[in-house]
Amino acid sequence: IVQRYVEISGQFKRVISVVKVRGSQHSKDIRLYDITNEGIVLGEALSAYIGIMTGSPTGDLVA
- Which one-letter amino acid corresponds to residue 37? N
Q: What is the pLDDT of residue 10?
A: 82
- Map out the domains of the chain as residue ranges: 2-54
Give the percent of the chain with pLDDT over 70: 90
Distances from the Cα of 25 to the Cα of 37, 59, 63, angstroms: 30, 28, 23
Q: What is the pLDDT of residue 55?
A: 63
Which regions in the chain score pLDDT beneath 70? 55-56, 60-63
pTM: 0.69
The three-state (H, E, C) secondary structure of the chain, written as one string: CEEEEEEECCEEEEEEECCCCCCCCCCCCCEEEEEECCEEEEEEECCCCECHHHCCCECCCCC
